[in-house]
Structure 1
Amino acid sequence: MATTSVHSPASPSYAVPTRALLAAGAAAGPLWAAVSLAQAATRDGFDPVRHPLSMLSNGPLGWLQITNFVVAGVLALAGAAGLRRTLRGTPGGTGLPRLFLVYGLGLIAGGIFVTDPADGFAGTPAGPPESLSAAGAAHLAAGAVVFGTVIAANYVLAGRYSRAGRRTAAVVSRVAGTGLLAANVWALSGAPAGSLVLASGSIPAMLWLSTSLTPLAPRAA
């Protein structure tokens, strides 16, 4: 009597393991934050109360922050690819990878287009720049894209965590997204210490996004 064997479908084989892509994406936020804060503490003339972290792209050591933006962006793109594989067919499995994709592209654009130096940094006089350069305008647009996608991604995460019954994580996601939104509004309004408030809102939100990839990596192929 003939027997019939049933084979389960094999897992797809990738040139770059999904685990590696997720780990790269998880490193994007911590890397950008660590390099930015290290420079903010050591660069001559930089004042985090008056100068946004992106202004570190100016001056003789500006290449460090430019590279930081681009490398973090590439890592975020890798994370987007890992999320697309891992979350396919799940709630939020389409939106979250797309947001990470735009997040990465925005970071890369923020490195390519350098913000204008101002207010005493990199040899400039006190006060805002007299005019906005094309590169400076492009950097502001890239920043708006990054902040918008980080806010949206945190809200998408909140929905995923809520459906999974992880109430604390859902609350933290909403707080991170809302904190960045409020910080952005504060900075754009010209309120005191806008740059410091914006950094205080953006860095936690970026770091929290990284936590969404970290637990997925050990389970990925």
Structure 2
Amino acid sequence: MTTHDVTVSARGVSTRALLTGGAVAGSLYVVVWLTQAFTREGFDITRHPASLLANGGPGWIQTTNFIVSGLLSIAAAVGLRRALTGRGRVWGPWLVGLYGFGLVLAAGFPADPAAGFPVGTPADYAEISARGMGHFVAGGIGFSGLIGGCLVIAAHYRSIGRRAFARFSAVTGILFFGAFAGLSAGAGSRPTIIAFDIAVVLGWSWLTAVCLDKRRTA
């Protein structure tokens, strides 16, 4: 085996590891989120977005969830930069990385208490603090990255004849945009929060599927 072969082999293992991290990120985030959603006192998954879990005594769990899943998403972006070819090779990974950055940034700016959570917060409490505004900015950055990444990587898959993955990517980006816009305009109504919860699971499922797909040939 030549030195070149060793270098290529090491690079391949590293890329696969990065993409594995990206594939794990979604499952980790969703499991930690849902476990808290159904065990934290006063939390109602149909009324409270996941970000509110960063409040209260156990809030560090969701904060850590944001950081770990965000860092794994950034790792996925690096792996995708190496694994993608042709159209989407540059902007797709950068946008996925922006999604990861938004998650990490959200950890530093926790959402304000709202809608009766955590317990003791008035049901009509909706005050927005400086940290709350920071959380909105972080969400805007991260979700824009995810939406853009879906659409750019859809173009990549379309260019290589992978129509099913192209459609999956495009539909995920479009639906996530719609759910995020609905959440922003819906002032926390149950339908918009439920739609956004579903979109979050879909977005993570998309990232997992793309990472696993590219990992097969990395």
The answer to whether the superposition gives a TM-score over 0.5 is yes
**Unaligned stretches of 5+ residues in structure 2:** none
Partner AA of 2:153 in structure 1: L
Return the index of the structure with the highest Cα Rg: 1
The equivalent residue for 2:96 is: 100
1:64-100 Cα deviation digits (max 9, x unpaired): 100000000111111112122222x522111111112
Match of 1:28 among 25, 30, 38: 25
Number of corresponding residues: 212
CA shift for structure 1 position 190: 1.8
- Residues 139-150 of structure 1: pairs in structure 2 closer than 5 A: 139-150=135-146
Contact kept? 2:28, 2:69, Cα under 8 Å: yes
1:127 aligns with 2:124: yes
Partner AA of 1:22 in structure 2: L
SS state at 1:219 partner: coil
The equivalent residue for 1:216 is: 214
Contact kept? 1:27, 1:210, Cα under 8 Å: yes
- Residues 33-52 of structure 1: pairs in structure 2 closer than 5 A: 33-52=30-49
Identity of aligned residues (%): 40
Q: Distance in 1 between matches of 2:58 and 2:201?
A: 22
| Structure holding more helix per residue | 2
1:84-140 Cα deviation digits (max 9, x unpaired): 2222x52211111111211111110111210001111112011132x3111111111
Q: Distance in 2 between matches of 1:146 and 1:203?
A: 15
The equivalent residue for 1:3 is: none
CA shift for structure 1 position 8: 10
Partner AA of 1:203 in structure 2: V
The equivalent residue for 1:73 is: 70
Contact kept? 2:81, 2:89, Cα under 8 Å: yes
SS state at 1:21 partner: helix
Q: Distance in 1 between matches of 2:160 and 2:116?
A: 49
1:110 aligns with 2:106: yes
TM-score (structure 1 length as normaliser): 0.88
SS state at 2:38 partner: helix
Q: Distance in 2 between matches of 1:49 and 1:144?
A: 21
CA shift for structure 1 position 163: 1.6
Partner AA of 1:215 in structure 2: D
1:54 aligns with 2:72: no
The equivalent residue for 2:179 is: 183
Over aligned residues, Cα RMSD in angstroms? 2.0
Partner AA of 1:68 in structure 2: N
Contact kept? 1:73, 1:106, Cα under 8 Å: yes
Q: Distance in 2 between matches of 1:169 and 1:197?
A: 22
Match of 2:16 among 12, 15, 19: 19
SS state at 1:60 partner: coil
Q: Distance in 2 between matches of 1:128 and 1:173?
A: 37
TM-score (structure 2 length as normaliser): 0.89
